Amino acid sequence: MNDLNPTPYADLSPDLILDAVESIGLPTDGHLLALNSYENRVYKVGIDEAEPVIAKFYRPDRWSDAAILEEHAFTLDLADAEIPAVPPFATLGRTLHVHRGYRFSLSPRYGGRSPELDDARVLEWIGRLIGRIHAIGAVSPFAHRPCLDIASFGTGPRDLLLAGGWIPRDLLPAYESVVEMALVGVHACFARAGDFAMIRLHGDCHRGNLLWTDAGPHFVDFDDARMGPAVQDLWMLLSGDRVDMSRQLADVLAGYEDFQEFDHRELHLIEALRTLRQIHYAAWLATRWEDPAFPAAFPWFNTQHYWQDHILALREQIAAMEEGPLWSA
């Protein structure tokens, strides 16, 4: 999770951004709007006498060129199959460009609103599209992107937080105890799920990465695409109590299984994956804390109250992982 430079965007000025876009032959009109992104930097850039484009500047040292190009190839495969993902443009014969040390890509601008995830028809529609994404994702593996596993999302982030002294001294015994119990629970859930398949995923399929229009949803931001269990792209669509989530899951799977078989053993993983996301998220914020954008956007992080709530959330996850799956056929 460590990057070499904690402030990698210090030199990414508006002039540099516009120069980068013009370096591949697109004349800009001077208009530039920063969009909501923290891991990378993303901008809407005005193009002279044409539609604006979205310019994404990749965080240095996070992904290799090969890993970024695998993401691009995946989204292009989805678009070729008429699945509403948003791939980058191929400009000058390539999708990944470099300008003054910054790697970037350009993609078309798509609008939309947040989907109504309490609507059964919407959930089924989204489920159908994720099923189609996974049908393509299951054809071949990523070669340069990581797997979602307990080491990279659980034990590694835990060790980073402990080694970095992020946990307040008076909360350290409680954190060490609860995170250990949580990881034991995660291992137990993975054991109950058995030998499930690992496929190419969106990886971060929450409602913020789904944009809805009158024509339906489209998927954006495949930056966290990786190998993992299919249910990783489903569980973040669920919210509320167990009854609500079971109903929502049934709606999603009703659409999903029109296009892709779902291994119902993976339902044992839902709360384990939620637990891993909580541990990983805390370590991600810690790793990025020297980036000036992070203290400004997440001022509540690394406070006494934050770590108290984090410990409480992990305790709740320990109990949730001991319950049975939400729903099964």
Residue 65 is a catalytic residue: no
Per the CB < 8 A criterion, the answer to whether 59 and 46 are in contact is no
CA–CA separation, 154 and 17 (whole Å) = 36
Identify the helix (H) or strand (E) that includes residue 67: helix 65-80
Residue 80 is a catalytic residue: no
CA–CA separation, 302 and 287 (whole Å) = 12
Per the CB < 8 A criterion, the answer to whether 124 and 252 are in contact is yes
194: left (phi over 0), alpha (psi -120 to 50) or beta: left
CA–CA separation, 70 and 271 (whole Å) = 29
CA–CA separation, 200 and 232 (whole Å) = 11
CA–CA separation, 150 and 279 (whole Å) = 10
> Of 19, 29, 221, 251, which is the active-site residue?
221
Long-range contacts of 151-154 (CB under 8 A, 24+ apart): 152/280, 153/276, 153/277, 153/279, 153/280, 154/183, 154/186, 154/275, 154/276, 154/279, 154/280
Q: Residues 6 or more apart from 9 whose CB is under 8 A from it?
A: 41, 57, 59, 291, 293
Number of alpha carbons in the 13 Å side-chain half-sphere of residue 28: 23
CA–CA separation, 33 and 44 (whole Å) = 5
CA–CA separation, 109 and 106 (whole Å) = 9
> Of 204, 223, 233, 291, which is the active-site residue?
204
CA–CA separation, 18 and 22 (whole Å) = 6
Question: What residues are labeled active site?
Answer: 204, 221
